[in-house]
Structure 1
Amino acid sequence: MMNYRALNWFKQKFPQNYILRKPFIGMIIVAVFCYLFTILYKPRHTNSSDPFSYEVTMAIYLLALMPPLYITIRALKLFPVFKSKESWTLLKELGFPLILFLILGVWNYFFGFIMENTEGRWNIYTFLDSVRSTLITGTLPYFLFTIQNSRYLLLTKASDPNKDNHINEKCELIHINSKLKKGDIRFNPESFLYAESNGNYVIFYFLKNDKIEKEMVRNSIGDIENQLSEMPYLMRTHRAFIVNLKMVILKKGNSSGYRLKLVGTDAELPVSRQNITNFDKVEQDLQKSQLAIGTN
Structure 2
Amino acid sequence: MEIKAYLKQPYPFYYKELKRVLLLLCFLAIASFTFTYLFEPFVVNVKEHKIDYIWIMVFHSVLPIPIAFIYFFLLNKSIKNIENWTLGKEFLHLAVLLFLIGIASFLIRDFIYTNPDNWSFRYLWEEIRNTFLVGILLLIIILPLNLQRLINKHSNDLKKISISKQYFNDLNANTQIVTSIKEENFNLNIQTFIYAKVDGNYLEIFYDDSSGYEKKLKRLALKEFLDQLKSYPFIFKTHRSYVVNLNAIESVSGNAQGYALYLKDYPQRTIPVSRSKIKEFNQVYTSLKKN
Q: Show the counterpart of 1:176.
A: 168
Instruction: Please give the alpha-carbon distance, in whole angstroms, between the structure 1 residues aligned to 2:105 and 2:236.
Output: 50
Does 1:214 find its partner at 2:243? yes
Match of 1:105 among 102, 109, 124: 102
* 3-state SS in 2 of match to 1:16: coil
Instruction: Please give the alpha-carbon distance, in whole angstroms, between the structure 2 residues aligned to 1:138 and 1:83.
Output: 27
The offset of 1:45, in angstroms, is 3.0
The offset of 1:29, in angstroms, is 2.7
Instruction: Confirm or deny: 8 A CA contact 2:63 2:101 kept in the other structure.
Output: no
Instruction: Confirm or deny: 8 A CA contact 2:8 2:87 kept in the other structure.
Output: yes
Cα distance change, pair 115–20 in 1 and its aligned pair in 2 (3 A): farther
Q: Show the counterpart of 2:71.
A: 72
* 3-state SS in 2 of match to 1:176: coil
Q: Show the counterpart of 2:58.
A: 59
Match of 1:246 among 251, 254, 264: 254
1:85-137, CA deviations, whole angstroms, 9 ceiling, x for partnerless residues?
22101211211111110011000011111111142222222111100111221
Q: Aligned partner of 2:29: which letter?
A: A
TM-score (norm 2): 0.56
**RMSD of aligned residue pairs (Cα, Å):** 4.5
The offset of 1:53, in angstroms, is 3.3
Structure 1 gap ranges (5+): 158-171, 189-195, 217-223, 234-243, 252-261, 279-296
* 3-state SS in 1 of match to 2:237: strand
The offset of 1:70, in angstroms, is 1.2
Instruction: Confirm or deny: 8 A CA contact 2:50 2:111 kept in the other structure.
Output: no
Q: Show the counterpart of 2:34.
A: 36
Q: Show the counterpart of 2:159.
A: none
Cα distance change, pair 250–206 in 1 and its aligned pair in 2 (3 A): closer
Instruction: Confirm or deny: 8 A CA contact 2:50 2:112 kept in the other structure.
Output: no
Q: Aligned partner of 1:54: which letter?
A: Y
Larger Rg: 2
The offset of 1:55, in angstroms, is 2.4
Instruction: Please give the alpha-carbon distance, in whole angstroms, between the structure 1 residues aligned to 2:39 and 2:105.
Output: 19
Cα distance change, pair 135–46 in 1 and its aligned pair in 2 (3 A): farther
The offset of 1:65, in angstroms, is 3.1
Instruction: Confirm or deny: 8 A CA contact 1:109 1:127 kept in the other structure.
Output: yes
Instruction: Please give the alpha-carbon distance, in whole angstroms, between the structure 2 residues aligned to 1:100 and 1:173.
Output: 46
Does 1:267 find its partner at 2:276? yes
Percent identity of paired positions between Structure 1 and Structure 2: 16
Instruction: Confirm or deny: 8 A CA contact 1:14 1:89 kept in the other structure.
Output: yes
Instruction: Confirm or deny: 8 A CA contact 1:206 1:214 kept in the other structure.
Output: yes
The offset of 1:68, in angstroms, is 1.8
Instruction: Please give the alpha-carbon distance, in whole angstroms, between the structure 2 residues aligned to 1:47 and 1:264.
Output: 53
Instruction: Please give the alpha-carbon distance, in whole angstroms, between the structure 2 residues aligned to 1:59 and 1:8.
Output: 40
Structure 1 residues 175-214: aligned runs within 5 Å: 175-182=167-174, 183-184=190-191, 187=194, 200-202=231-233, 203-205=235-237, 212-214=241-243
* 3-state SS in 2 of match to 1:246: strand
Q: Show the counterpart of 2:129.
A: 132
